[in-house]
Amino acid sequence: MAAFAFYLFAGLLLTSGLMVITAKNPVHSVLWLILAFFNAAGLFILLGAEFLAMLLVIVYVGAVAVLFLFVVMMLDIDFKALQRGALQNLPLGLAVSGVILAEVLLVASGWTAGQGVIVHEALAGPPPGMTNTQWIGSQLYTRYFFVFSMSGLILLAAMIGAIVLTHRRRVGIKKQSIAAQNARTPGGTVAVGKAAIGQGVEL
């Protein structure tokens, strides 16, 4: 049963991965990508990593892919023209990937699986009385504290970069100034006048 589920998820994952890059419509590509994420999450569940599976669904499907979808919908790019350019290079690309495939097959044919694998204190699983999620947390915040906190700085750098590259002070736009609004008095803004019949009001 587990083997069947593995091949089901793995097969669907590969198919949807292939569809991501071959789909004509970019929106379809993103939707295939979401399917790929779901199948990868399924594979994680099979491995017993339920937390990672949920993380993949929540973060990648829930946030990243949906954002992708918005961006793709808003971009005004002629994907047809882009693909036409890609088709021109197709023969060369196929030739290169053919060579690489042949090389990989040659290597794989002369190589028995498992040879050369050095198993080093394989992590058996969480210590007794600890769930998977707890275990990930305890490793992340103790053993891997250094790289974890430095990853935070990478995100900070990305944030600064995004602001540097997109923020600009534009002139001639209308902005709300709450202080100015609050400082308005009826005397300065309201005028009572009498409009004569048949004539407009002079302001």
Partner 1 sequence: MHPIFASIAIAGPETILTLGSLAALMLGTFTPKHRALVVTSLFAVAILGVAGFSLTDAPAGRSIAFDGLYVADDFSAYLKVIIMAAAAASVLLALPWLQERGAGRFEYPVLMLLAALGMAMMVSANDLLTLYVGLELAALPSYVLAAFSRADDRSAEAGLKYFVLGALASGMLLYGVTLVYGFAGSTQLDVIAQLVSAQAERSIGMLFGIVFILAGLAFKVSAVPFHMWTPDVYEGAPTPVAAFFSAAPKAAALGLMARVLVVAFPGKVAADWQQIIMFIAIASMVLGAVAAVAQTNVKRLLAYSSIANIGFALVGLSPGSPAGISALLFYVTVYVAMTLGSFLVVLQLRRPDGGTVETMADLAGLSKTQPKLALALAIFMFSLAGIPPLLGFWPKFAVFQAAIASGLLGLAIIGFIASVVAAFYYLRLIKIMYFDEPAVALASEGSPVNGALIAACALFCSPLGMLAMSPLAVATARAAAALFPA
Residues that bind partner 1 (CB under 8 A): 107, 111, 115-122, 142-147, 150-151, 153-154, 156-158, 160-161, 163-165
Listed as own residue / partner, the contacts of 11-15 with beta carbons closer than 8 Å and 24 or more positions apart are 12/39, 13/39, 13/40, 13/43
Q: Which is nearer to partner 1, 123 or 197 (CB)?
A: 123
Closest listed residue to residue 37, CA positions, set 19, 52, 54, 57? 57
Shortest distance, position 152 Cβ to partner 1, whole Å? 10
Q: How far apart are CB 122 and partner 1 at their closest, in Å?
A: 6
What are the angstrom distances between the C-alpha of 64 and each of 33, 35, 103, 142?
A: 11, 13, 35, 28
Q: What angle do CA 82, 83, 86 make, to 5 degrees?
A: 95
Closest separation between CB of residue 157 and partner 1, Å? 5
Which of 78, 121 has the CB closer to partner 1? 121
Q: How far is the CB of 195 from partner 1 (least distance, A)?
A: 49
Residue (4 or 146) nearer to partner 1, CB: 146
